[in-house]
Amino acid sequence: MSADAFLDRVFRNLPRPSGRFEYKAWRHAGRPTSEGVGVLTASGVNVDGVAAAVLDLDHYTGNIEFVVEARVVPDPRYSPPATTRFYQRVKIPVLGSLHHELLMEDKGERDGWRVLSWYHLGAENDRLDSRRGARTEYNTGAWLIRPDAVAYALSSCPRKGDVGRLKFAALTRGADAGAAKVLQSNIEGMLAWSRRR
């Protein structure tokens, strides 16, 4: 598995930086949540600095909103920083915790953007304890960085069996409704953290 097909969809739908935050969402494969990408125009982006913050997976807690636990998981199959397995748990106000194991990949450059993407590790997620938080059914995303803009793309959904019918509806329809705001907040948070490092 990889994030390559997702990245192709992101680049087909990527809004042009316009001087303000832009967001676009689309449906894919009948999934219960939309995929989306947000782009924030920002002058003087330190591409290497933002990429270094994105790859600093052990230190998301306290620096990235809603992340309550994050750590690199040593795995001989992968060679950080090019490919890094990591665990992350987020706590969403009112709705509770979600957690997952993901593989971050440094994809280099594409169409003038520095690309860092991740995807969900299915077997590793299966082994997570659902009492600590709902496991994700799928979670794929990407950071796109260039000197005048930063973009964040995401496709994610909790496991229905881990959350129940009502919470699943809140975490899917609610996530779609609030996606633009969340993506903009994540971009602003990552930019701010990269400047503090």
pLDDT of the residue at 24: 98
The average pLDDT across 171-196 equals 93
The average pLDDT across 75-90 equals 97
Q: What domain range is 145 assigned to? A: 4-196
3-state DSSP assignment of residue 196? helix
Q: How many domains does the chain have?
A: 1
CATH of residue 53: 3.30.530.20
Per-residue pLDDT at 35 exceeds 80: yes
Per-residue pLDDT at 84 exceeds 90: yes
Q: What's the whole-model pTM score? A: 0.96
Query: CA 22 from chain center: how many Å?
Result: 17
What residues contact residue 153 under an 8 Å CB cut-off, 6+ apart? 6, 10, 35, 36, 37, 38, 141, 142, 144, 183
Contact, 9 vs 132, CB < 8 A?
Answer: no
Helix%, strand%, coil% for the chain, nearest 5: 30, 40, 30
What does the DSSP 8-state code read for residue 64?
A: S
**pLDDT level of residue 170 (50, 70, 90 thresholds):** confident
